[in-house]
Structure 1
Amino acid sequence: MEREWVAEESVVVAAEPARVYEAVADLRRMGEWSPECFAVWVRGRPAKPVGPGTGFVGFNRIRWRVWFTTGRVTAAVPGEVFAFRVSSFGIPVAVWGYRMEDIGGGRTRLTEYWEDLRRQGRRAAFVSLLGRVFTGVPAGERAALNRRGMRATLERVKAALENG
């Protein structure tokens, strides 16, 4: 089976795009949504809304393995898109993001997407190796794991917005 470099999952949420954006763009809430990321520390002025260039550190775990990555917000358009680039030891690892699509009737199609940036070169191979050491997940299995995580994340966001 060939390695997958991108993945995405979607869910329909009974909430307006602006409200959905507020939830997913609040990096400090990522631990509520994600089965892998359990906390985020936002650099700089944490009381301000995040925007392009905002840096953060994400703390992650799978079973007993714990690691951190650094991130930088790359897109922050309320009600439309929120995305960030993740690095490990200064080497690009992935792009993660959320797209919001107004589908009418106070509903939003929320799509979470991921792109693996570890495609070529010695540095990419090194970061792939680090990823396996820290997470226990072989690079070829990362997309499938992320899809499962995205489905869980999206269902948690949906439940929080529809029931909260």
Structure 2
Amino acid sequence: MTVRAREWDVTESLEVRRPPAAVYTALADSRRMAEWSPEVWRVWSRGDRFVGFNRRALWVWFTVCRVVVADPGREYAFDVTSFGLPVARWGYRLTPTPRGTQVTEYWVDHRRHGWRRHLAELLGLLFTGTPAVRRAARNRAGMRQTLRRLAATCEAAD
């Protein structure tokens, strides 16, 4: 029997045929995440904080997010918590290319230490139905879909 090692971070990249400033403008409007993400169905935003309402099959959950990097044309990132427990950082790095922008989406799991880790892991399983060892693979697939949808939206804006 093969035991999978837990992955604590994931990155996926895709080139978008739009300049970094245009891609950043789309990403920095957190309410638009529902257009691209396969899990987010609504976002309530207020300043540098927002609540993401998510669903997958029968599971429905929300997360509280705080923007931690807002560097126009370069990077946009936010930390995710649930009931005050650290969950993850999600972000987007933008690199200019001759044809547009290389968009690298990244996820870093923050459920690593102490008693809060175990509670956050349990909530993650209950809310999403995804065991910790399968979380990175699920996020990777979702990131690919998100990036394809983001690219399609940005490129259609031409």
TM-score normalized with structure 1 length: 0.92
Find 1:95's aligned residue among 66, 89, 94: 89
TM-superposed CA distance for 1:25, in Å, is 1.1
Residue 74 of structure 1 is matched in structure 2 by 68
Residue 108 of structure 2 is matched in structure 1 by 115
Residue 140 of structure 1 is matched in structure 2 by 133
**Equivalent pairs: percent with the same residue?**
55
Residue 7 of structure 1 is matched in structure 2 by 10
Query: 1:30-49, aligned counterparts within 5 Å?
Result: 30-44=33-47
Q: CA RMSD in A?
A: 0.8
Q: Tell me whether 1:29 sits opposite 2:32 in the alignment.
A: yes
Gaps of 5+ in 2: none
Gaps of 5+ in 1: 45-53
TM-superposed CA distance for 1:37, in Å, is 1.1
Alignment deviations for residues 77-119 of structure 1 (CA, whole Å, 9 cap, x no partner): 11000000000110110000000000124x1000100000001
User: What CA distance in whole angstroms lies between the structure 2 residues aligned with 1:102 and 1:108?
Assistant: 5
TM-superposed CA distance for 1:43, in Å, is 2.1
Q: Tell me whether 1:84 sits opposite 2:78 in the alignment.
A: yes
Aligned length, in residue pairs:
154
Residue 57 of structure 1 is matched in structure 2 by 51
TM-score normalized with structure 2 length: 0.95
